[in-house]
Amino acid sequence: MKILDSKAFLTRAGKSLAFTSLGLGGAPLGDLFERLDQQTAHDTILTAYRSGIRVFDTSPHYGNGLSEARFGAALRDLPRDAFLLSTKVGRRMDPFTQPAPARADVTSPGFAGGFPHRAMFDYSYDGTMRSIEQSLLRTGLSRFDILMIHDCDVWTQGADMIDQRFKEAMDGAYKALDRLRSEGTVAAIGVGVNEADICERFARAGDFDVMMLAGRYSLLEQPALASFLPLAEQKSIGILLAGVFNSGILATGAVPGATYNYTAASTDIMTRVGRIEAVCQRHGVTLRQAALGFALHHPAVVTLVLGAVKPGEMEANVADAQIAIPPALWSELKREGLLDAAAPTG
């Protein structure tokens, strides 16, 4: 699938959305790892658009609203029907209180910069509606195409809170989003989390159009393959796949300082990635190219959401995603036990 091609997707409400195979993810543009200057962030978003990308994803979490503001500033002068924009609910901002310190008992990363506003988890009906209102004001746009319940997973909430948060999300946020979809205010609703089993739990509990899954279906690991992705196909849920580089190591390779799930990669992960990269080299492709090519093969995936903080990074993502991967590479990875034998690669 070429970047300029679009994958038509029909929502529960009967609206057709056109997903380009690559999308631009907004977490890095919220000062995830480093503080970014406004002009570079602006140029990165517009470079993605000029490259043919028409899917843009953000969240109030990304820099406490900074990412949303940057997307709005870059996109608001473009024809509104020329792109898809998604954001998320589950947090609302208090502009009068400084951000809380990062928790040590969860994995979800903090941000190096962003707006000096405190984020508060709020999956209630009223909190969801307020969150959407705040997001519209930050972007200066008239609507979002997709709204997703964000970070209602163990990764973010901790094992002791996940059942309570899940109930809050289904009793509150889901009902708010379902109402907005039925009224035609938003075209599609979904969930954005880091765990395949939580995606499956939501998929069985509600009627969702799309889900964003980060990190759990990649060239390195495929835990979503056994149960969740078949369920997504069965229920016609479109998958926005994020974290296909597992926060870095599938882009950099097994080099000193490589990161996996936002922390230093373990020896076992470094060894496995090194073996995968050796196979890629034998077939004349880079690890990055193989990571992108693999993720695009699954029929449930409607787009890959990739982060970038510079125009050159966006251009590199587009170029690497269009490289044809030799089928023999997938066969060798499966023979070596480095790729699930059931993973779609044809």
Give me 251's structure tokens: 């882009």
Angle, helices 125-139/174-183, rounded to nearest 10 degrees: 60
CA–CA distance, 93 with 256 (Å, rounded to integer): 37
Torsion of CA 58, 59, 61, 64, to 10 degrees: 80
Catalytic residues: 57, 62, 88
DSSP state of 247: G
Alpha helices in the chain, H assignment, sequence order: 38-50, 66-75, 125-139, 154-157, 162-168, 174-183, 196-205, 228-234, 249-252, 267-282, 287-296, 311-321, 327-335
Residues, the chain: 346
Of all helices (H) and strands (E), which one includes residue 147?
strand 146-150
292 CB neighbour count, 10 Å cutoff: 26
DSSP state of 282: H
Placement of tokens 């589950």 in the chain:
90
* Partners of 94 in beta bridges: 118
CA–CA distance, 291 with 246 (Å, rounded to integer): 10
CA–CA distance, 66 with 52 (Å, rounded to integer): 24
CA dist list (Å): 49 to 23, 43, 83, 270: 9, 10, 8, 34
Task: Tell me the residue type at 324.
Answer: A
DSSP state of 103: P
